[in-house]
Structures are given as C-alpha cells and as structure tokens.
Structure 1
C-alpha cells in the first residue's frame, strides 16, 4: 500500500472568505454566485469561524431579522474544525464524519489556504475508486 493521500491534494485552494463585519446579505450573495455552502470567516486576516448556509437559514427564522443589517459575526460558527495541508485525508474524513461537519478549514501556519468540503470528499473518493 502506498502513501496515504493528504487533504492538501483534494482541498479547494484559496477559498472565498468573508469578513466577520460583513452583512448576511453579502454572504448570501457570495454563496449564491459561487454556488457554495461554506465561507471561512476572517477578522483581521485571521480565521475566527465558518459561516454555513445552515447558519444563515437558522438566523433568518428569527422575527425581525434583516439580512442587510445583520452581520456575519452574529451568525457564524466559531472555532471550526481545521487541518493542515499535510493532514492525512482519512483523518480529516473520519473527523468530519464523527463531528458531522460539512467542511474542514485548511490552515498553513495559521493562514487560510483551503477548505475541504463534502464535495471535495466525493471527488477524492471517486479518484480513489477510479480504475487505472
């Protein structure tokens, strides 16, 4: 058996992120345009959390919530699961499955370099199952 693949081989590189002080409406616009469900949240260039489509849908169920004035910092999930590009793919996949996480943020020396989502996991699985 050869080397186990690493998450850096399958992650989405340099993902779109959003500032913690941006509006939920802006986050919705970015997600819709890019057809994504997860946005790393940055404050001063540092990762502070992740905003998901589920986070947005939940906060919008509250009465009198205006997505134009509500900021990301009032809806995001702090301290998300993260890995490094060298973390073994099987370790990330296991942790995501155990925690029921839709993504893993990928950091290199505390800098956002990627995101590994369920879609990336499907691509990795397809690559592993591909016949030579």
Structure 2
C-alpha cells in the first residue's frame, strides 16, 4: 500500500517574517540576520507584492553607490514570486524548485500569506519521509 504525497502545508514554515515594500534594505538585512532566515516575503497594505533574499541584498551591497540605509525593498525585490496554495502536493513543488533553481515558495490560503517553503524545508521534508516511509 502506498501512502499519499503530503501537501506543502505539512512542511512549510508557518507565519513567516515579512517586510513592507517601503522599508529599507538595511531593515530587511537586520530581520534576516536576527531570525537567521534568507528570504522575506514583501507586503504592501497586507498584499504579497514580492520577495527579497539575502543573496539579493548581498549583491546590491557590493555596489558602493548603493546605500542599504536609503534604498527601499521595493526597488530590489523580485516581483511575482512563486506562490502556491497550501494544499499543493509536495512532489510537484520540489521538482519545480529544482528545475527552476527556486530558493523559496510563498504559500497562500484565500490569497493570504500563510507560509514559506524553502529548500531547507524541503530537506527536512525529505528527511522525515526517509525516516517514516523508507525505514
């Protein structure tokens, strides 16, 4: 008997930290450092408008003309982030993340952000599946 493929909501990080699009890159960097995270969903009036990563900020900080204390997140974020519904099956998401080299997926329910699924979450899911289904 085979077990069903789990949904992404079983392995996602719930209630992810977010940042407003009008906040500075320095503020985004501080949040990421404080909570040891690499991705921040970007909101504007409660609506998901993008995502910014630690990699984005590190790249921009390499330019001496860019001041992280002045530049806004909206100027550096990735528009139209990869989003899925909370009941999306895990296998398809992991395949798409691998094929497109996507570091994180935003998870929504009724158009509200409910989670984030990163490659770290994918590795945790893989470990749990190994431990519970393949032992």
Structure 2 length as normaliser, TM-score?
Answer: 0.94
Paired with 1:10 and 1:125, the residues of 2 have a C-alpha distance of 10
Paired with 1:78 and 1:53, the residues of 2 have a C-alpha distance of 16
User: What residue number does 1:108 align with?
Assistant: 109
Measured after TM superposition, the shift of residue 105 of structure 1 is: 0.4
Unpaired runs of at least 5, structure 2: none
Counting only pairs closer than 5 Å after superposition, residues 17-96 of structure 1 correspond to structure 2 as 17-96=18-97
4+ runs of 1 displaced by more than 6 Å? none
Find the residue that maps to 2:22 and give its secondary structure: coil
Structure 1 length as normaliser, TM-score?
Answer: 0.96
Deviation by residue 1:11-63 (Cα, 9 ceiling, x = unmatched)? 00010000000001100100000000000000111101110011111222223
Paired with 2:93 and 2:48, the residues of 1 have a C-alpha distance of 18
Deviation by residue 1:85-106 (Cα, 9 ceiling, x = unmatched)? 1000001101111110000000
Find the residue that maps to 2:50 and give its secondary structure: strand
Unpaired runs of at least 5, structure 1: none
